[in-house]
Amino acid sequence: MPLYDCMLLLKPHVTKEALLDLAAKVGKHVYRRNGVLTDIKSFGQVQLGYGIRKLDGRYYQGRLMQMTMMTPPSFNEELHYLNKEDRLLRWLLVKHRDMKYGLDFLGEGDPKADLRRYGSSLLDNEDDKDDSEDEDDDDEYDADQGHDNDEDDDGDDDDEDDEDEYEADQGEKKEG
* Closest by CA position to 4, among listed 70, 102, 55: 70
Number of domains in the chain: 1
38 within a domain of the structure (yes/no)? yes
* Closest by CA position to 86, among listed 23, 18, 154: 18
> Has this prediction a pTM greater than 0.85?
no
Show the domain range for 61.
3-97
Task: Look up the CATH number of the domain holding residue 45.
Answer: 3.30.70.60
Condensed to tens digits (0 to 9), the pLDDT of residues 97-137 reads 876 666 565 555 555 665 566 665 555 555 555 555 555 55
142 within a domain of the structure (yes/no)? no
For residues 10 and 88, give the distance between their C-alpha atoms in angstroms, rounded to a whole number: 4
For 45, the 3-state DSSP assignment is strand
59 within a domain of the structure (yes/no)? yes
pLDDT at position 56: 92
15 within a domain of the structure (yes/no)? yes
Q: Which residues contact 113 (CB under 8 A, 6 or more apart)?
A: 106, 107
pLDDT at position 166: 66
User: Please, are residues 1 and 71 in contact by the beta-carbon 8 Å criterion?
Assistant: yes
User: Please, are residues 75 and 35 in contact by the beta-carbon 8 Å criterion?
Assistant: yes
Residues of the chain with pLDDT under 50: none
User: Please, are residues 120 and 127 in contact by the beta-carbon 8 Å criterion?
Assistant: no
Condensed to tens digits (0 to 9), the pLDDT of residues 87-96 reads 999 999 999 9
pLDDT at position 28: 94
Q: Tell me, what DSSP letter sits at residue 65?
A: E
Q: Cα torsion for 124, 126, 132, 133, to the nearest 10°?
A: 130
